[in-house]
């Protein structure tokens, strides 16, 4: 446990420029919750599920960060301004991952077994982003603020929007036609437009037939 204290202390001190003195680290919710998580996770692995959950829920009430003790978290996780962060039971997080406030690493509620996402090394998830389901976010990828990610993301990508869309990969920008975050696909509205178009065509055809009928009657 002492080793965990040292690791978490150094991790926060090195990665948060707002820290003016080393003692500030012990006030950070990220520091407190990760110490509790490491303890709870060891208990969880030994089958002490109730005690592990008790520790994790107590930490959640104190810090606003909820980490299930079953989650697998590597070294160097940094949770900045972590209020509202939720990490599900089967989540796997690699090394040097950064999460900001309001991030959810959750499941759809329908799967069994592995039902939460896997974040590989050096992933950054911005404020308010939601990653939902059992799939992988590749190494060095960045998830934009407020994005909702529901499918796999390759390594070295930047994802934005709802639903999340890859806008940059391997440091190369995706063509502008694929970067519109406002005019996203809406299948329901697309169907409505198709019905409106078909209705207009049908109305015009009926009017045309009525004119032809009147012309025939006139000629008689």
The distance of Cα 198 from the centroid of its chain, to the nearest Å, equals 39
Q: Report d(CA 66, CA 53) in Å as an integer.
A: 10
> Are the beta carbons of 169 and 175 closer than 8 angstroms?
no
Distance set, CA 24 to CA 15, 27, 82, 100 (Å): 13, 5, 16, 19
**Residue 177: DSSP 8-state:** G
Q: Do 129 and 143 form a contact (C-beta atoms < 8 A)?
A: yes
- Tokens found for residue 97: 């991952």
Please report, for residues 13, 86, 151, the alpha-carbon distance to residue 112 in angstroms, rounded to integers and kept in the order given.
38, 19, 17
CATH topology of domain 71-183: UDP N-Acetylglucosamine Acyltransferase; domain 1 (2.160.10)
Instruction: Please give the torsion angle defined by the CA atoms of residues 8, 68, 148 and 115, in that order, rounded to the nearest 10 degrees.
Output: 130
- Which pLDDT score is estimated for 11? 67
Give residue 184's pLDDT. Answer: 44
Sequence spans of domains, the chain:
1-68, 71-183, 186-220
* Structure token digits, residue 212: 């032809």
CB 112 within 8 A of CB 138: no
Q: What is the pLDDT along the chain (220 residues), one digit of tens a residue?
A: 556 666 666 666 666 667 777 677 777 788 888 889 989 999 999 999 999 999 999 999 999 999 999 999 988 888 888 889 999 999 999 988 989 889 999 987 766 788 899 999 989 898 889 999 899 999 988 888 888 998 899 998 888 888 877 877 776 655 544 444 444 445 566 778 888 999 999 999 999 998 888 888 887 7
Task: Check if the beta carbon of residue 118 is closer than 8 Å to that of residue 92.
Answer: yes
């Amino acid at each position: 446990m002492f080793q965990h204290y040292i690791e978490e202390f150094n991790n926060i001190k090195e990665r948060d420029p707002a820290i003016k003195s080393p003692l500030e680290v012990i006030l950070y919710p990220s520091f407190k919750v990760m110490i509790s998580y490491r303890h709870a996770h060891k208990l969880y692995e030994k089958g002490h599920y109730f005690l592990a959950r008790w520790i994790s829920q107590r930490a959640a009430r104190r810090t606003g960060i909820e980490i299930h003790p079953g989650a697998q978290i590597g070294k160097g996780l940094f949770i900045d301004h972590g209020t509202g962060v939720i990490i599900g039971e089967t989540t796997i997080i690699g090394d040097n991952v950064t999460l900001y406030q309001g991030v959810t690493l959750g499941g759809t509620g329908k799967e069994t077994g592995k039902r939460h996402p896997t974040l590989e090394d050096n992933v950054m998830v911005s404020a308010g982003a939601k990653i939902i389901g059992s799939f992988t976010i590749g190494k060095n990828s960045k998830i934009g603020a407020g994005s909702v990610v529901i499918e796999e993301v390759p390594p070295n990508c930047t994802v934005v929007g709802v639903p999340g869309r890859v806008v940059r990969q391997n440091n190369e920008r995706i063509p502008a036609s694929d970067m519109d975050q406002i005019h996203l696909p809406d299948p329901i509205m697309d169907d409505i437009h198709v019905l409106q178009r078909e209705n207009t065509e049908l109305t015009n055809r009926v009017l045309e037939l009525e004119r032809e009928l009147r012309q025939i009657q006139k000629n008689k």
